[in-house]
Amino acid sequence: MEDILEICGKRLTNRLFVGTGKFSSFSLMKQALEAAETEVATVALRRVDTGSKTENILDYVPKGCIIMPNTSGARNADEAVRIARIARAGGAADWVKIEIIQDNKYLLPDNIETLKAAQILAKEGFKVFPYMSPDLSMARRLAEAGAAAVMPLGSPIGSNRGVKTRELVEIMVREIRIPVIVDAGLGKPSDACECMELGCAAVLVNTAIAIAQDPVGMARAFSDAVRAGRLAYLSGMPSASSSANASSPLTGFLRDI
């Protein structure tokens, strides 16, 4: 049976979202997006120039792919709301990734300002995807505010350190009624697979694909890993045991016969 992620009125068959930053060229970015078969791509508004007569990033996003503007560069709720409104006025979809960062060293999201922006934008009809530090109480507040999903970080942006917040993400998956999409820090396809095995609805990857020696091959690898992790989750993985349990019946060792 086909595994569908239903979100914001859309039916997605691919649970890998891909960011569009850091690629060496728009052409390479397009090839990677196609290889990943992604149906959702995030784009920073400051990288979009619809009036430009030269290359425009939007021209290189595959047709049929949902473009999700993000509020990268916003330092507070007011700036994030302004960016989202500009994106919608410019013809972008009403999907928006809220990204509010005041910390220039570790680039960790400001959960309080993110909640403020989510409350405003959700009331204005935006499909809100807030990037956040994993925190159960805040995730619940974001869900109550009307967020379409929550996007906890796996580790700091661009660090490629993997799912350092695993236990917190796992708690959110169990307790939050809206989709949990891990964003930031995933460095290897196995990291994405791990998130899906935990029951995450999707993952968002950018740096690990964009700066790989072969971004197109890496995009394909991440896509395969997401599918594998999701299938493992749906298949019901056995729990870990502290002792050995033979896979073949043991009636005695040879020396005992």
C-alpha to C-alpha distance for 162 and 230, rounded to whole angstroms: 17
Q: How would you label 62-87 residue by residue, b for 16+ Cβ within 10 Å and e otherwise?
A: eeebbbbbbbbebeebeebbebbeeb
Strands 10-12 and 5-7: antiparallel
Q: Which of 97, 105, 116, 123 is catalytic?
A: 97
The phi and psi torsions of 102 (rounded to 5 degrees) equal -105, -20
Task: Judge whether 164 counts as a catalytic residue.
Answer: no
Q: How would you label 91-128 residue by residue, b for 16+ Cβ within 10 Å and e otherwise?
A: ebbbbbbbbbbeeeeeebbbbebbbbbbbbbbeeebbb
Catalytic residue numbers, as ranges: 97
